[in-house]
């Protein structure tokens, strides 16, 4: 780890993590990082990302950021879980094997339940079935193996509820009918989100770095429009809502300055490229639905798996994202702060109260 990563972990406001584990299994080629940010509310819960990071330090930094975000997400979702995240370094198309996933599962198991894993970018239900062969603290498994299946189903549903709440707050009507929504990233979550929006009567514009993902979507939904890239999408005239649904850092200075949308509500984690972006959005009159509030449907789904999965019960919990988002906007208005800052305050208060209660 570089000095910058160590500074983040031990000294910056973005740190404060309880534990960071570096994992290596040379036989399978596994290199992974497991970050546990907080167990104040319960065992840390968060997915496993498989990504070809440029450096090991970049992988550690991403794990730290994602784990911290999971603490806030789980707190806002009302779950009895803290926040954790894992990243596996490598190209999943080239380096993913059963041997590697099982080695990873043994590392998760060695934590004795302090961290519960699930799917994320680059990992799928079938992968969690393999991890579960070595680790009982694995969610996101297939229904055939006692799991909840694809968590992107309720992730997209929760984002849709966040969009409905944004529409209610801004336009006085909880529908996207007649609105134009731009989605950057139509992978596991984005493609489900398209279906919710079309069913509600919205016009949808998409972009994705993977041409095959766009082609597959258009084959199912030929009415969807396509932008050449995210830069073109955010500048599209008449855009009502922008939904970042790929990797983090989507809202940087250039993007915020160019946005034509009046709402940002998407599934990607860690959308704000740096502190202060939330204020820039507010200063431009753009309503930001904090990512970890609206994209909590997936973690709600996998958390329910630990209780013996019931889809209707999990969906009912995810439906409450609508109310949570509305309450958050009201709190932000009362406190005179951006919604992202209000969400942080609420989540931090819940974690602090749990620590004081001696959980």
Longest CA pairwise span in the chain (Å): 58
Which one is catalytic: 73, 85, 96, 317?
85
> Scanning the structure block, which residue is given the tokens 């806002």?
76
Going from the C-alpha of 258 to that of each of 232, 237, 243, 274, 281, the distances in angstroms are: 10, 11, 15, 17, 11
Residue 15 to residue 317: CA distance in whole angstroms: 29
Strand, helix or coil at 206?
strand
Classify the C-alpha dihedral 115-121-125-130 as positive or negative. negative
Q: Is residue 85 annotated as part of the catalytic site, yes or no?
A: yes
Tokens of 12: 């910056």
> How do strand 82-89 and strand 30-38 relate by DSSP bridges?
antiparallel
* Residue 85 to residues 33, 143, 195, Cα–Cα distance (Å): 8, 23, 28
- For 344, phi and psi rounded to 5 degrees? -60, -45
Neighbours of 276 (CB within 10 A): 11
CA dihedral in degrees (289, 319, 144, 117; nearest 10)? 40
Tokens linked to 209:
């770095």
In whole angstroms, what is the distance from residue 135 CA to residue 112 CA?
9
- Interhelix angle 311-319/297-305, rounded to 10 degrees, is 150
DSSP reduced 3-state for 215:
helix
Which residues does the annotation mark as catalytic? 85
């Amino acid at each position: 780890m570089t000095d910058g990563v160590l500074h983040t972990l031990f000294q910056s406001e973005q740190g404060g993590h309880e534990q960071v584990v570096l994992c290596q299994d040379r036989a399978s080629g596994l290199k992974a990082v497991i970050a546990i940010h907080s167990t104040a509310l319960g065992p840390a819960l968060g997915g496993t990302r498989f990504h070809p990071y440029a450096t090991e330090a970049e992988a550690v930094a991403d794990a730290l950021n994602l784990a911290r975000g999971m603490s806030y997400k789980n707190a806002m979702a009302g779950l009895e879980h803290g926040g954790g995240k894992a990243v596996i370094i490598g190209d999943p198309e080239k380096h993913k094997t059963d041997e590697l996933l099982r080695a990873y599962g043994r590392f998760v198991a060695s934590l004795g339940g302090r961290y519960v894993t699930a799917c994320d970018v680059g990992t799928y239900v079938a992968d969690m079935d393999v991890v579960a062969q070595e680790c009982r603290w694995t969610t996101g498994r297939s229904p055939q193996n006692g799991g909840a299946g694809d968590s992107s189903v309720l992730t997209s549903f929760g984002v849709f509820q966040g969009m409905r709440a944004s529409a209610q707050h801004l336009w006085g009507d909880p529908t996207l009918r007649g609105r134009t929504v731009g989605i950057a990233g139509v992978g596991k979550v984005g493609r489900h989100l398209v279906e919710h929006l079309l069913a509600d009567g919205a016009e949808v514009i998409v972009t994705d770095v993977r041409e095959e993902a766009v082609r597959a979507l258009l084959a199912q939904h030929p009415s969807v429009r396509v932008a050449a890239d995210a830069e073109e999408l955010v500048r599209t005239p008449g855009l009502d809502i922008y939904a970042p649904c790929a990797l983090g850092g989507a809202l940087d200075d250039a993007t915020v300055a160019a946005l034509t949308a009046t709402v940002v509500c998407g599934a990607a984690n860690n959308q704000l490229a740096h502190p202060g972006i939330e204020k820039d959005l507010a200063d431009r009159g753009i309503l930001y639905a904090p990512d970890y509030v609206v994209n909590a449907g997936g973690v709600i789904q996998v958390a329910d798996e630990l209780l013996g999965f019931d889809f209707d019960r999990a969906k009912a919990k995810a439906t409450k994202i609508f109310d949570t988002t509305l309450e958050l906007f009201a709190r932000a208005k009362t406190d005179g702060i951006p919604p992202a800052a209000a969400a942080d305050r609420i989540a931090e208060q819940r974690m602090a109260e749990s620590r004081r209660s001696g959980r």
